[in-house]
Amino acid sequence: MLKSHSCGELRKEHTGQVVTLAGWVHRRRDHGGLIFIDLRDREGIVQVVFNPEVSKTAHELANDLRNEYVIKATGEVAQRPPGTENRKLPSGEIEVIASDLEILNTSKTPPFYINEDVEVDENLCLKYRYLHLRRPRMKDNILLRHRVEKFMRDFLDAKGFVEIETPILFKSTPEGARDYLVPSRIHPGKFYALPQSPQQLKQLLMVAGFEKYYQIARCFRDEDSRADRQPEFTQLDLEMSFVDEEDILKLLEELFTSLVETVKPEMRLVKPFPRFSYAESMERYGTDKPDIRFGLEIRDLSAIVASSEFAVFRAAIQGSGKVKGICLPGCAGYSHKQLEELTELARANGAKGLITLALPLGGYTSLEQLTLDKVKSVAAKYLTIEQVKEMVRKFEAKPGDLMLIVAGEPKMVDKVLDELRREMGRRLNLIDLNLLAFVFVVGYPLLEWNDEAGLWEPMHHPFTSPCEEDIPLLDTDPSKVRARHYDIVCNGYELSSGSIRIHTRQLQEKIFHLLGYSSEEIEERFGHLLEALDFGAPPHGGIAPGIDRVVMLLAGGENIREVIAFPKNQGAIDVMSGAPSSVSEAQLDELHLKLKDEGIIQT
RNA sequence: GGCCCCGUGGUGUAGCGGUCUAACAUGCCACCCUGUCACGGUGGAGAUCGUCGGUUCGAAUCCGAUCGGGGUCGCCA
């Protein structure tokens, strides 16, 4: 090793030792007679002092140092002179008095700051990703990711799980997300698909008898990116035999609780993890991935306004619609412009409009004294005071609160209010950023009716087992069948869906048929799986939490690109390498491929 | 594919019809400085304001198109 110690590890206990350090020049402070260098390596930063009285040659050479030069410096660790300690630095009590300096490599001036955490155009960061990763915050994110994955491995190993790799070149199963395809050279016209997840393979490992499997698995889905989604991502994929829902949920709760306590002890958890039924989550939060770090819960006002004169409400309720709302504390004073902004947000999410009711701040001490003329709302003249009071009671609203009401199709109403709720939770600073609010969502329906396609679709995936007692309903009323399916959600992000799987051929075939597959399709796509179920498949189930999102939440980020070493941008491009890129005609030939539009062969 | 936001020295921002021959901070270069730590001081270089077109006597500024980026809807079994 070129170094005896790392920069970040030095403390006053090292005082008196002669150490050799190697790292990057983080910052240079040249006082003419005296030069201070903040030397940075993976472990942190330490101050190195160049004093001509200690070494004239080292001091002279230090004159040439610039940011990001790579250097090796030898010197004695010394306690800093009293009054010059730097409490902002863990190594701030000491410094290294350099007696020798070697420049291992020079550096061009970086295209953006490495020693300051100012936001820079993301494409530039991605182009010079290796420089961006030098930033302490980015470096810490990647190290955090390492600790998370290490913890998961250790935890599951201790629980008797076996880590097993599964193929990246696998078979296309065209339902679900779009596949990434890999053309076969040996088999003209045939393709592998990159796995959207190792779902089938892990089930087959259960049939194989491994009982407890896990893998930190890369998954590939060719769909448009989002802040929390990119084409390739990582899951902690796990599967267990001879378990029920309770076993999986208990394992997850223990895993995440001890993970947070180990790698991020300063963050708080809600324990035990609350459980919501799908119906309850939709009812109270308008979504199946609720952020429960704050209130502003949705309330159903349909019953209250059922007999309303107000055409907007009446029309909604007489159709198959709902009237629901949320209540914003202390927002009654919102200006016309602010209300218009909220209405715009509602419209952007599909609402025709937004009804607002502002409760006066003063003028009534008990609800009895509230009169209609004091309530500020375009709907006031169509409502009775009793209806308004009922709403106030339903929201437990206080004087000065603002009620936001949306009417229409239930799906739209939920979506709009979910959006408004999360936006206002942020704006009103109701969110505790140090809190990780994990929740389990259970009791999902097995199937969802797709009106456009005119067939049943699985809510999760076609391998999810229905609840035993609901199996007869598959023939009579499929919408009523509950799934043995659970989700884990944290701070409004879905970390994973999981389920107890179907483990008999008969039931699996029945589900495939219900989903509209012909016998031939079933055989072609899932024949290998069905055959496996015939050979003594054990009852089994599992889940696969998304590691990128977990690390993002632990890092306090809002974007998974901050916790992936080499991410792709929104257009699925690796800005650093330029992938995807053109290939030569020879390569295409070998793969028996021909581009449809010869023009696009040019770069 | 739809919608919203953003493109101004290396970086981050300001300017939003004329006074812009484009401002500020930082970075960069040179010189000075022995206790700084976002060191300080003096001086200097560095931008045809993403691109194209239009409106106008006059465009960084207004309009249109286009390209690039971010967010989001659709999509994500």
Report d(CA A603, CA A541) in Å as an integer: 47
Are A227 and A175 within 8 A, CB to CB?
no
pLDDT at A336: 82
Question: Which residues, listed in sequence order, are joined to residue A30 by a DSSP beta bridge?
Answer: A35
pLDDT at A598: 59
Query: Within a domain: residue A527?
Result: yes
A123 CA, B57 C1': Å apart:
41
CB atoms within 10 A of CB A468: 8
Q: Express each pLDDT in A354-407 by its tens digit.
A: 999 999 887 777 777 788 888 888 888 888 888 999 999 999 999 999 999 999
| Strand B within 7 A of A571 CB | yes
Provide the 3-class DSSP secondary structure of residue A212.
strand
Q: Give me A86's structure tokens.
A: 């730097």
Residue A267 and residue A299 share a domain: no
CATH number (domain holding residue A72): 2.40.50.140
Report d(CA A312, CA A316) in Å as an integer: 6
Residue A518 and residue A426 share a domain: no
Residue closest to B11 C1′ by Cα:
A112
Residue finishing a domain among A393, A411, A431: A431
- Within 8 A by CB and 6+ apart from A23, the residues are A3, A6, A7, A39, A40, A41, A70, A71
Are A378 and A336 within 8 A, CB to CB?
no
Residue finishing a domain among A538, A564, A586: A538
Total of domains in chain A: 4
CATH number (domain holding residue A365): 3.30.1360.30
CA distances, A132 to each of A128, A234, A264, A522 (Å):
6, 21, 23, 48
Residue A177 and residue A80 share a domain: no
Residue A188 and residue A61 share a domain: no
Sheet containing A275-277: order of strands: A162-163, A212-220, A232-241, A540-543, A493-500, A485-490, A438-442, A275-277
Q: Which stretches of A235-285 are DSSP H helices?
A: 245-263, 278-285
Query: Within a domain: residue A283?
Result: no
User: A304: burial class by Cβ within 10 Å (0-12, 13-18, 19+)?
Assistant: buried
Among candidate residues A422, A526, A511, A500, the one with its CA nearest the CA of residue A474: A511
Residue A245 and residue A310 share a domain: no
Residue A503 and residue A420 share a domain: no
Which nucleotide comes closest to A110 if you measure CA to C1'?
A: B10
Query: Within a domain: residue A377?
Result: yes
Residue A230 and residue A180 share a domain: yes
Are A79 and A49 within 8 A, CB to CB?
no
Query: Within a domain: residue A316?
Result: yes
| Strand B within 7 A of A229 CB | yes
Residue A44 and residue A12 share a domain: yes
pLDDT at A174: 65
pLDDT at A47: 98
Q: Express each pLDDT in A291-327 by its tens digit.
A: 999 999 999 999 998 888 888 888 888 888 899 999 9
Residue A425 and residue A301 share a domain: yes
Q: Which stretches of A349-468 are DSSP H helices?
A: 385-395, 410-427
Report d(CA A373, CA A364) in Å as an integer: 12
| Strand B within 7 A of A122 CB | yes
Question: Which residues of chain A carry a pLDDT beneath 70?
Answer: 174, 597-603
- DSSP letter at A83? T
pLDDT at A228: 96
Report d(CA A277, CA A128) in Å as an integer: 46
Q: Give me A442's structure tokens.
A: 């259970």
Among candidate residues A406, A286, A287, the one with its CA nearest the CA of residue A352: A406
pLDDT at A493: 96
Report d(CA A603, CA A582) in Å as an integer: 6
pLDDT at A373: 83
Query: Within a domain: residue A474?
Result: yes
- Residues 403-422 of chain A with CB under 7 A from strand B are none
Query: Within a domain: residue A12?
Result: yes
Q: Which nucleotides of B are covered by protein (CB under 7 A)?
A: 1, 3, 10-13, 26-29, 32-40, 68-77
Query: Within a domain: residue A116?
Result: no
Query: Within a domain: residue A67?
Result: yes
CATH number (domain holding residue A560): 3.30.930.10
Residue A550 and residue A444 share a domain: no
Domain that holds residue A401: 294-431
Is the CA virtual torsion A55, A61, A64, A68 positive or negative? negative
Residue A74 and residue A15 share a domain: yes
pLDDT at A317: 86
Residue finishing a domain among A84, A105, A126: A105
Which nucleotide comes closest to A67 if you measure CA to C1'?
A: B27
Residue A21 and residue A57 share a domain: yes
